[in-house]
A and B are shown apart, each in its own frame.
Chain A
Amino acid sequence: AQSVTQPDIHITVSEGASLELRCNYSYGATPYLFWYVQSPGQGLQLLLKYFSGDTLVQGIKGFEAEFKRSQSSFNLRKPSVHWSDAAEYFCAVGAGGTSYGKLTFGQGTILTVHP
């Protein structure tokens, strides 16, 4: 069974600073990997996803993530954080085969942005 670990429950950065949110996954084959953002009381917005190919994935809102198979990681990065990026971020892994489409989510990382 697949699993996802987001080691940081809460991260605080200053506006304009760079950001990296960590995500480690466990899955036997090549995973499908996702990053979502959720504002309080809102639904999920897909930032980016990795299925195959280039291991550096560009997403919306200036986010990118890099798939590193050797480290079982899919960390999310942004070079310069904006106050509007404050939200909760979820990493998720999807399986293939008969479980295709099922996502397993990490615990989430709450991002606070200081002015």
Chain B
Amino acid sequence: GAVVSQHPSWVICKSGTSVKIECRSLDFQATTMFWYRQFPKQSLMLMATSNEGSKATYEQGVEKDKFLINHASLTLSTLTVTSAHPEDSSFYICSARDRDLGTFGSGTRLTVV
């Protein structure tokens, strides 16, 4: 089946710094990827839809200037958490639309200290 790779699997950063998370489709081209966020002891919520070659579409309540999404190639989407604060500490996970719908990356646990 399709494989979605996510990196890093965990990251700790200082408050005010930026963190980049990568989501790659390893054996297929992904024109659309999705980014989700899961706060501790909560469910997963869609943050944004990443479209190759165009602007991302953000869900209501998600700050597009804080969560920068770039989908510059058919195999890579990146999520950058800018000026991270402790409340951004969460589990971030991506998925791709194009093949094996329902396959997710392994996720990235972000801790902002």
- Report if A74 contacts B (CB, 8 A): no
- Judge whether B95 and A46 touch: CB under 8 Å: no
Contact of A46 among B36, B44, B49, B102 (CB under 8 A): B102
Query: Closest B-chain residue to A110, C-beta based?
Result: B41
Subset of 7 A-B contacts with CB under 8 Å: A34-B102, A46-B102, A101-B95, A101-B101, A105-B43, A105-B44, A108-B43
- Report if A90 contacts B (CB, 8 A): yes
Assembly CA distance A43 to B103 (angstroms): 11
- Judge whether A94 and B93 touch: CB under 8 Å: no
Assembly CA distance A108 to B39 (angstroms): 13
B101 to chain A, nearest CB (A): 6
Query: Closest A-chain residue to B9, C-beta based?
Result: A43
Question: B9-34: contact bitstring with A at CB < 8 Å (1 yes, 0 no)?
Answer: 00000000000000000000000101
Which of B62-70, B71-79, B82-90, B105-113 participates in binding chain A?
A: B105-113
Assembly CA distance A106 to B45 (angstroms): 10
- Report if B97 contacts A (CB, 8 A): yes
Query: Closest B-chain residue to A6, C-beta based?
Result: B43
Assembly CA distance A12 to B96 (angstroms): 34
- Report if A69 contacts B (CB, 8 A): no
- Judge whether B46 and A100 touch: CB under 8 Å: no
Contacts of B32 in A (CB 8 A): 101
- Report if A56 contacts B (CB, 8 A): no
- Judge whether A103 and B95 touch: CB under 8 Å: yes
Contacts of A32 in B (CB 8 A): 101-102
- Judge whether B105 and A49 touch: CB under 8 Å: no
Contacts of B97 in A (CB 8 A): 100-101
- Judge whether B103 and A103 touch: CB under 8 Å: no
- Report if A104 contacts B (CB, 8 A): yes
- Judge whether B101 and A44 touch: CB under 8 Å: no
